Chains A and B, each alone.
Chain A
Amino acid sequence: MAETKVADQLDSLVSLERGEIDRRIFSDPEIFDLEMKHIFGRAWLFLCHESQIPRRGDFFEAPMGTDNVLVVRQKDGGIKAFLNTCSHRGNAVCRAEEGNVRNFMCTYHGWTFGLDGELVGVPGSSLFYKDKLDRSKHPLRKVAQLESYRGFVFATFDETAPPLPEYLGATGRLGLDLLAERGDMEVIPGIQKFTVKTNWKFTVDNVFDYYHPQITHMSAFALGLIPAPPDNYMEGGAKSETGANLEVPFLPTDLHNVVMVGEYGHAISGPDQDALEVSTGVEPFAWRHNDETQARLGRHGSRVAGHPHIFPTTWVTAGGQLSLRVPREPGVTEIWWFSFRDKNASPEENAALLSSHIHFFGPAGLLEQEDGENWAQSTLQTKGLHSREVPQLLKMGLGTSEVVKDDGLAIIDAPINEHAQLWTYHSWREWLRNPTWEELRERTVPHDRF
């Protein structure tokens, strides 16, 4: 689809009213290019956590759309980020994913850059350039803005982007608070990174999907890895390939969800904490049961046990991890897992936490090993000439929910639904129109009814 054509068709690609999405958005290369330009070229994107680069010269390479940036701890303790591409011939100035350096030197001609990205060394400066090269004009290209929120480092390529806290809004900030409030948080060394043949939007959509665990992760329920009360199986609905009724676990009909949708496309969706604890009979969130934390999270925030998502690709899990869904190609996405722990936790607490981080998500995770294949298969079918004409359905709970606006949040209380997914696609469409920040904000003010 040509750019003008995509712009003309945006309204038909995503319909909030019908709860339908055009499947072509998952495989069209020109739509992907537009996403890189209008979304990843402008949004505040998560780069890393400050605890990953504690010492001067520590760096971490992070993706921003199709670019790679080096996030670097400065001599003065500050943080800068710049494109990992030499100002001379474009070679990467650093080929490690993380580490510690005094300088970044391009291995092509030896141009050397300081921790602040300034060009500090050019071999043969007088001999070859006759001292006429103005080094100050050729630093590594910096991101337009960089800010930390509670230790989470974000950057944007757009100098007109609103400040990070404003971009995050109440919903996005709450999402990060739900991780930061657990203690004095640091990233456990080692970022899991793996490749799935899927479009990035499937991986985001899935964050809010509490309809899939009962089937996709059925084996994890069977093993007791996800607690499900013994009498809470629903018969019918799903039939096995032999025609037998499948006993589907979990999802008691009264499992209450709380959804929050926010400006620019951020959303939180998942079980209400009390509902989850009552229905599963376990109490998984001890860290939040004190008055101080409850007060800081606020009366709405303290009810949330579901999945916060910072638009476009940052997910905070209920278990204390953060996942980045990195688009590489229309049909290729890298999943990155950042796993956190409280610096003050006991060795026993840390061991238990590490075990849950390793055993739930990641490519060998007893939950997530099932997910990638679903996303890959969904992506594959969007390529078929006729398959891609079948609309993608997001109709669950459509038109049945009131939105309550309070405390800067837009809150929906409802059974399991697809409101947050639909909100994400709606916001995605508004981003693709490439509006001004003011227009974008206005167009992503949550509706009164979902």
Chain B
Amino acid sequence: MTTETAEQARLTAVLLQHEVEQFYYHESALLDAHRYEDWVFLFTEDTHYFMPLRRTVTRRQLHLEFTKPGEMAFFDEDKNYLEIRARKFATGTSWAEDPPSRTRHLITNVRIGEKSGDELQVHSNFLLYRTRLKNDLDQWVGRREDTLRRTEAGLAIAKRHIFLDQTVLQSANLSSFF
């Protein structure tokens, strides 16, 4: 009986892991196919999409490495601003993405943490590879800390904090989503 319960728990964990990973693959596919408005649909109404600034600091001051909400950031978005950004691409005059970038979102190291109620904490790593025009190449690597929430429509992103591995950004813009 005990064995069966433990096995059941493992199976549940595997299924959840599968579900979360499939969710991320679906999300990545939407972005790489330029389906930004469908992508925004994956976020809850109260979402917080945040990419702080990272600073090169000494190990002793590592707690100051990232800026916090209320300080400067690259992205500090509510659902409304995510919608604005998605609509911007659709104007036909958003030149930083017209001609469009080619992107590939690679999501790895998906680790499911604390579960409470209908929410899940999920950490993952990403590689966002982007080429633009004839020979522009940008690559961003980092990690994401998400809160996923179970809604009637399926999993949704209630919080995404994105931690880039670069301090001085090695690209002319961040006109892609992470």
What is the number of residues of chain A that contact chain B, defined by CB distance less than 8 Å? 45
Query: Mask for B39-66, Cβ within 8 A of A = 1, else 0?
Result: 0000000000001110111100100100
**A188 surroundings in chain B (CB, below 8 A):** 71-72
Bound-state CA distance A225–B80 (Å) is: 13
Interface locus among B5-13, B23-31, B93-101? B93-101
* The residue from A97, A351, A369 contacting B174, defined by CB atoms under 8 A apart: A369
| A403 at the B interface (CB under 8 A) | no
CB-based contact B84/A190 at 8 Å = no
Give chain B nearest CB distance to A337 CB in angstroms. Answer: 8
Interface locus among A30-38, A140-148, A293-301, A356-364? A356-364
Interface locus among B104-112, B113-121, B142-150, B164-172? B164-172
| A370 at the B interface (CB under 8 A) | yes
Give chain A nearest CB distance to B142 CB in angstroms. Answer: 14
Bound-state CA distance A219–B90 (Å) is: 9
* The residue from B74, B76, B95 contacting A370, defined by CB atoms under 8 A apart: B95
**B20 surroundings in chain A (CB, below 8 A):** none
Q: Which residue of B lies closest to A377 (CB)?
A: B133
**A362 surroundings in chain B (CB, below 8 A):** 74
If the complex has contacts A97-B57, A223-B84, A223-B87, are A358 and B75 also in contact, measured as CB distance less than 8 A?
yes
CB-based contact A364/B88 at 8 Å = no
CB-based contact A189/B171 at 8 Å = no
If the complex has contacts A219-B91, A223-B84, A370-B95, are A364 and B61 also in contact, measured as CB distance less than 8 A?
no
Give chain B nearest CB distance to A421 CB in angstroms. Answer: 21
Q: Which residue of A lies closest to B174 (CB)?
A: A364
**A345 surroundings in chain B (CB, below 8 A):** none
* The residue from B172, B174, B175 contacting A196, defined by CB atoms under 8 A apart: B172
CB-based contact A370/B94 at 8 Å = yes
CB-based contact A195/B171 at 8 Å = yes
Bound-state CA distance A359–B76 (Å) is: 9
Q: List 12 A-B contacts (CB under 8 A).
A: A98-B55, A99-B64, A190-B52, A190-B73, A192-B169, A195-B170, A220-B88, A354-B72, A362-B74, A363-B74, A363-B172, A373-B96
Q: Tell me the B residues contacting A by CB distance below 8 Å.
A: 51-53, 55-58, 61, 64, 67-68, 70-76, 81, 84-85, 87-88, 91, 93-96, 132, 136, 167-175
Q: Tell me the A residues contacting B by CB distance below 8 Å.
A: 95-101, 188-197, 216, 218-220, 222-223, 225, 334, 337, 339, 350-351, 354-355, 357-359, 362-364, 366, 368-370, 372-374, 376
